[in-house]
Amino acid sequence: MIELRDISKTYAKSGTKAVDSLTLQIPDGVIYGFLGPNGAGKTTTIRVMTGAIAADSGSVTIDGIDLDKDPLEAKQRFGLVPDTPDLFSRLRAYEYLNFVADVYKVSSADRTSAIEGLAARFELSDVLKSPIGSMSRGMRMKLNLIASLVHTPHNWILDEPVVGLDPHSAFALKELMREHAAAGGTVFFSTHVMEVAERVCDELAIINKGKLIFTGSLEALRELRESRGAKAGTGEAGTPVAAEASTEASAAAGDESLEALFLALVEDSEVPTL
C-alpha cells in the first residue's frame, strides 16, 4: 500500500509548481492508473513517491513505512520502472540486472530464477549479454521491467511502461500487472494510453497542472460525468467560458470511452473560476 499525504513540489530552477497538495491512497491488490496530460505532474509525483526527488511538503509511506524517515526500508518494498529506459547504456543487460539485484540484496539463486523467468516471458533471454546501448527502446523498457521485479517487490511502480512495447510484450505486461495485483501486491502506473488504462485499471487518479482532479473507479468517473453533464444542461455554469466548456463536456458525456471522459474532465479543470 502506498500513501501520499498533501504532497507539494515546486521546481527551484523554473519556479513551476509541478505537484500541488496531492493526497492519494493506493491500496493493495489493485491496479491503479495515474492519468494526466503532458506536464500534468505524473512523473514528478512518481519521483517524489520513490524518493528520487524531495517534496517541499507532505509525506509518503510505503507499506506503512515513512519514506523520509526510513528510506532504505521503504525503497526495499517497491520496484520502479522509470520513464526513461536509457539508463546505463554502456553496461551489458546482465551486468545491469546484477547491479540492481546486488542493491536489493537478492541471493544468487533467487536472482537467477527471477531473471530467467521474466526474460523468457518478455522474450529477452537471447540478448542478456548484449550492451544495453545496442538494444531498441522496447527491449530496454523490457529490461527495466525485469530489473524492477528482480527482488519481487510488494509494490510495483511504473512510469509510462507501455511506450515502445510490442503487442506481445504489452500483453505480457498487462498479465503480469494482473497477477501482481491478484497476489495482493500494489500496481501503480502512469500512462498516456487510455485504452490500456481502460482495460487494466481497477482504480484511477487523474492529475492536471499538479492537482488531482479525480480519484475512483472508471464507473465512478462515468457517473461523475453524467451528473456534471446534467448540471451543465440546467445552465448552472456561471461564465460564458465555463458554459462553453461545459457544453463540450456534456457532448463528450455521451461518449463513454475513458478518452472522452478524461478530455472532458481535464477541460473542466481548466475552466477559470471567478
* 63 versus 267: smaller Cβ distance to another protein: 63
Secondary structure (3-state) at 83? coil
Residue recorded with cell 509525483:
45
Extract long-range pairs of 199-203: CB within 8 Å, 24+ residues apart.
199/174, 200/31, 200/33, 200/174, 201/31, 201/32, 201/33, 202/30, 202/31, 202/32, 203/26, 203/27, 203/30, 203/31, 203/32, 203/33
* 112 versus 227: smaller Cβ distance to another protein: 112
Residues that bind another protein in the complex, under the rule CB under 8 A: 11-13, 47, 50-54, 71-73, 75-76, 80, 82, 84, 86-88, 90-92, 94-95, 97-109, 111-112, 115-116, 125-130, 133-136, 139
Closest approach, Cβ 157 to another protein, in A, equals 9
Closest approach, Cβ 78 to another protein, in A, equals 8
DSSP annotation string for 89-101:
TTSBHHHHHHHHH
Closest approach, Cβ 44 to another protein, in A, equals 10
Pairing mode, strands 2-10 and 17-26: antiparallel
Closest approach, Cβ 1 to another protein, in A, equals 18
* 72 versus 274: smaller Cβ distance to another protein: 72
Closest approach, Cβ 54 to another protein, in A, equals 6
* 143 versus 245: smaller Cβ distance to another protein: 143
